[in-house]
Every structure is written in C-alpha cells, then in structure tokens.
Homo-oligomer: A and B are copies of this chain.
C-alpha cells in the first residue's frame, strides 16, 4: 500500500502515520519523489485504509497491492518529464533515440551518431551487453562498446542509452550512460530494477513481450519505489499469433497508459515490428497516437549488422523517418527538436563515403 502525505504535513503527522503503519504490521519505507512524499507499506491494506485516510497530513491512500500507485495519475495528476542528459522526455518536443542495435566498432557508432544527430535525434542508443536468444549468437562487445558509445555520443552532442542485464553491472555502467535501458526480457527482473532504481539515473523500461499494461505499470513501481522518478515506459511489441511481424507493436498502449500514468511513454517500432518497411509508418502512427518519443535502430549498413539487421533503418531511411514524423508531430501539437545544423553538414558530406569505406 502507498500513503501520500500532504505537502504541508508536519514531521509529527508524518511520524504518526509511519507509526500507525508499523503498528499494523507493515514494513514502512519512506519514498521522496518530485511530485510528493510517500510512505510505502508491504502488503494489502484495504482494511486499514479508512483509518489512514482519516489521519492528519494524509492526502491519498492506495491500499491495493496489485494496483500501480506511485506511477498513477492519482499520485501525480501532472505529466512527468525525464531528462536524459540534454533531452527532455515527456515535454513538448519528441524524444528521438536512434542508433545501432549493437555497437560494432568506433566508425559504425560514430557514423550513426553524427548522422542521426544531424537529422534530429536527441539520444544515441547502442547495445553493449546484448541479451540473445541463443548463446551461440553475438553477445555484444561489453565494456569496450560502452566506451565507444559514450565517445560517439559526446562527439555528436548526444546523451546515450544502453541496456543493462546484470544487477552486478549497474554500478560499473553508470558512468558511461545517461539512461539505463531495461530490456523487454528484463521487465520483471526485479533485482535489476531495484539496482537501477537505486542509481537515480534515467531508466527506459521496455514492456515485456507477454506483459499486460497493468503488469508493465507495476514493474515501473519497482523503480519508483527506490525514490527514482526518472522512469520512461517503452512500448516495443507483444507476442501474439501473428507471424507477419516479429512482434505486434501495440500502439493501444499509448493512449491506455497515458490515461493511467504520469510517466512518459515512448515507442520502439524497430523491435515492435521487426520489419524495416513497417518502421516508418508505425513511427508516424506512434507519434499520432500521442507517444512522447521514439526509439529506432539505425545502421549504416543493415545487411552486415551483427544483430537485428532486418529491422534497422539505413541512414537515408532515418532521414526519411524524421522528414515524415515532423508534420505528424505538428498535427498533434508536438514538435521535433531542432536538428544540429553544423553536424548535419558534416553528416551530409560523409554520406557519399558509405559505411564500408568509413570502416
């Protein structure tokens, strides 16, 4: 259960509520978030909620254990924004996170970074630790890749996001990334969620392939309960019977989540469809549905990508994507961040060289 204290609650009122919870057998955990000060108790509290609501200094009580609390619009009727370095996710302009599935080498990631930055991306993505269905598949270049990613991001003026898989890696990764990505397979990796939550860093939580939206929101509670408000939800496709797409990108999640949570919601049409040809139309659709941003895979030479080549956009396709989502964003009252003109010229200049030559 979660108790939201009034902003004007006195320390003694707070103490009284905390004691009442403890006496009722709850293990009490204070949670301070930008949108309020909370007391969390483990377990269901329906029987106890009435008494708490009557106590001085109590603003709101969510007694259920299976109902999103800290992420709900009841806990924060506003809209949260999350900063990933210079990029504000959830504000008027769309966040565009772009980059390769895997960081494969300095030239690849730098080429990508410069290009996507030039055409309006606001965050650089790139995988260092890759969760792969098979142990015989490429597993990512790890620590080395993180360094390349960070350097490429700095050169292109972009903050970076990369996936973390092991709670034991969180501390070591923190200096390299502006945002931790929690992959779809890790949505219910609770030790990992807690470890990332504790860093206070931005966390991009991807929806699990079999997670209902209620479960998705409850996974976000694990992060918020650590006192970390910097949680971004990412729809990336669910598992269905349909085989024409790799996953079924569930854009319904955007309006449904927006009606329940104050957290920003972004959409990944690359994993969500797994088909290059569907990425741009579904990116437009995501923006029209009200998403706060996009995450897309971009590779200078998708056919030679070490992972996810089928769904990665070429540089030219990324440019087309940005060209096409701009008017849609405007149509729904959003905007794109201003592209970086200086870099764009560089990017344009290099386009002729291609990825092979650059490598």
Question: Hey, which bits of chain A sit against chain B, CB under 8 A?
Answer: 1-2, 40-44, 64-66, 69, 131-139, 165-169, 185-186, 188-191, 208-210, 212-215, 218-219, 221-222, 225, 238-245, 248-256, 258-259, 272-273, 275, 277-278, 281-282, 284-290, 324, 327-328, 330-332
Interchain CA distance A222-B272 in the complex, whole Å: 25
Copies in the complex: 4
A328-B284 Cα distance, complex, nearest whole Å? 10
Residue of B nearest to A272 (CB): B252
Pairwise interchain contact B248-A240, C-beta atoms closer than 8 A = yes
Q: A133-B66, A240-B238 are in contact. Are A43 and B188 (CB under 8 A)?
A: no
B190 and A131 form a contact (CB under 8 A): yes
Question: 29 interchain pairs (CB within 8 A)?
Answer: A2-B136, A40-B135, A44-B136, A64-B136, A65-B134, A131-B188, A132-B190, A135-B222, A165-B191, A166-B167, A210-B239, A212-B241, A212-B242, A212-B244, A213-B244, A240-B241, A242-B250, A243-B243, A244-B253, A249-B251, A249-B252, A251-B282, A252-B282, A256-B277, A284-B290, A288-B288, A324-B332, A327-B331, A331-B331
Extra 17 A-B pairs, beta carbons < 8 Å, given A214-B244, A240-B241: A40-B135, A43-B136, A44-B136, A65-B134, A66-B134, A131-B188, A135-B218, A135-B225, A165-B191, A185-B188, A210-B210, A241-B241, A243-B243, A248-B250, A288-B288, A327-B331, A328-B328
Contact A189-B190, Cβ < 8 Å, known A255-B282, A328-B328 = no
Q: Are A281 and B277 in contact (CB under 8 A)?
A: no
The answer to whether A281 touches B273 (Cβ under 8 A) is no
**Chain B neighbourhood of A167, CB < 8 A:** 166-168
Known contacts A131-B190, A284-B332; A256/B240 CB under 8 A:
no
Bound together, the chains give a CA A169 to CA B255 distance in angstroms of 39
B282 touches A135 (CB 8 A): no
Using CB atoms, name the residue of chain B closest to A288.
Answer: B288
A233 CB, nearest partner CB in chain B, Å: 13
